[in-house]
Amino acid sequence: MSRFSTIDAIYKVLRPGLFGLDAETAHRLTIAMFSTVPVFAGAKDPPELGIKLWGMDFSNPVGLAAGMDKNGVAIGGWQAVGFGFAELGTITPQPQPGNEAPRIWRVRQRRALINNLGFPSDGMEAVARRIERARKGRIKIRLALNFGPNKITPPDQVAADYASLMARVGALADFVVINVSSPNTPGLRNWQSPERMREIFNAMRESAAEAVERTPILLKVAPDMERNDLFRICDAALELKLNGIVACNTTIARAAVGVTSAHPGGLSGPPLKIRSREMIRDVYTHTRGQLPVIGVGGVTSASDAWLDIRAGASMVELYTGLVYEGPALVRKIKSGLLSLLRREGFRSIGEAVGVDR
């Protein structure tokens, strides 16, 4: 049995017990399990699955979404599962506990999750040390870092929080994702306006010019906005010379996506799939492909990933699907993407990006 098969087999045994626990306890135990996985390279991905972005080669376009490993404790596990990259975080400058529990709920009938975590974080110093250790070891997986401000940071200092994160850990990332779209930190989504975006990126460039110059910076956007607002954000991103868009974060919508739960927080998983794909297509079309898009929201199969790629996503990310399907989902998606590429006559992922725009 391969090491990957062993990981999958262990998860299958543990899954019934995990789903018998409350969602946050199950999450913590899962992360603890992945943190013990020895670092190994795993099987080499077929060259057709590779994609080049920002001058970097990614072995495949399937990544771990932010929120799963907020503190970078299981990097070796994500490499072992076969991800092409992992987005760690959200990381805040100072440690903080996040919102009060309970703060994660399963919506089992829709295979979805609602979280109201509020950026629980060990803080940038602790995460930096873990990444530095990982970089000295056998870690080959690409690492993205997702940044957010501390909850107690005054509004006039939020931009400074992003700047301090970029200065301390930006150079450790293969790319950085600026999170201004979580619904679980009061006032954060106000920073999606072009004016506030300029304030953030000007602060980052002033205090961390070298890291900004060499590290690709992407913006993660919320699904709960009008198209014209999204287009304004895209225009500002092009003006600011950002390197891409992550579409999208969790949604505060309920009835509109067929969910009746009254729990507060952001909804993720299949109910978000259609909206996420709409945003991918809108960003890709509006920017004429100038801003690479990472698609997030409801990816639970190779078909989901493939349709996102055809809509304009260069890569996709998983979180909720991984919770319900287990680590074998990564391998299934990669295998399915390879079959779809070959069946439809594409030689690479890059050739298929945006063909349905």
Q: What is the pLDDT of residue 1?
A: 47
pLDDT confidence band for 357 (50 / 70 / 90):
confident
* Average pLDDT over all residues of the chain: 95
pLDDT at 3: 60
Overall average pLDDT of the 96-102 stretch: 97
- Average pLDDT on 293-300 reads 98
182 catalytic, yes or no?
A: yes
What is the DSSP secondary-structure string of 246-273? Answer: EE---B---GGGT------SEEESGGGH
> Residue 9: pLDDT above 90?
no
Q: List, in order of start, the domains of the chain with CATH numbers.
A: 3-352 (3.20.20.70)
> Which residues, 6+ apart, have CB-to-CB distance to 336 below 8 Å?
301, 302, 303, 305, 306
How far apart (Å, rounded) are the C-alpha atoms in residues 353 and 280?
A: 11
Does residue 203 surpass a pLDDT of 50?
yes
Bridge partners of residue 267, in order along the sequence: 114, 251
3-state DSSP assignment of residue 239: helix
| Distance separating alpha carbons of residues 28 and 72, to the nearest angstrom | 13
Q: Which two tokens stand for residue 205?
A: 């460039």
The closest of 180, 150, 307, 161 to 242, measured between CA atoms, is: 180
In the set 164, 182, 268, 314, the catalytic residue is: 182
Q: Looking at residue 189, what DSSP letter applies?
A: G
Largest CA-CA distance found in the chain, in angstroms, rounded:
55
| Model pLDDT, residue 190 | 93
**Residue scoring higher pLDDT (229 or 39):** 229
Q: What is the mean pLDDT of residues 275-304?
A: 98
Contact 65, 321 (CB under 8 A): no
pTM, rounded to two decimals: 0.96
pLDDT digits (tens, 9 = 90+) for 302-342: 999 999 999 999 999 999 999 999 999 999 999 999 999 99
What pLDDT was estimated at residue 52?
98
Q: Is the pLDDT of residue 41 over 70?
A: no
**pLDDT value for 351:** 97
Burial class (CB in 10 A: 0-12, 13-18, 19+), 93: buried
The pLDDT, as a whole number, for residue 298 is 96
- Using pLDDT thresholds of 50, 70 and 90, give the confidence band for residue 37: confident
- Distance of CA 106 to CAs 231, 260, 262, 324, Å? 33, 12, 12, 10
pLDDT at 328: 95
Question: Quick one: pLDDT at residue 150?
Answer: 98
Which residues, other chains included, contact 98 with Cβ-Cβ below 8 Å and sequence gap of 6+? 117, 118, 119, 120, 121, 151
| Residue 184 near residue 114 (C-beta atoms within 8 A) | no
pLDDT digits (tens, 9 = 90+) for 150-166: 999 999 999 999 999 99
* Cα torsion 137, 147, 102, 257: sign: negative
For residues 197 and 195, what is the distance between their CA atoms, to the nearest angstrom?
Answer: 5
Three-class DSSP category at 36: coil
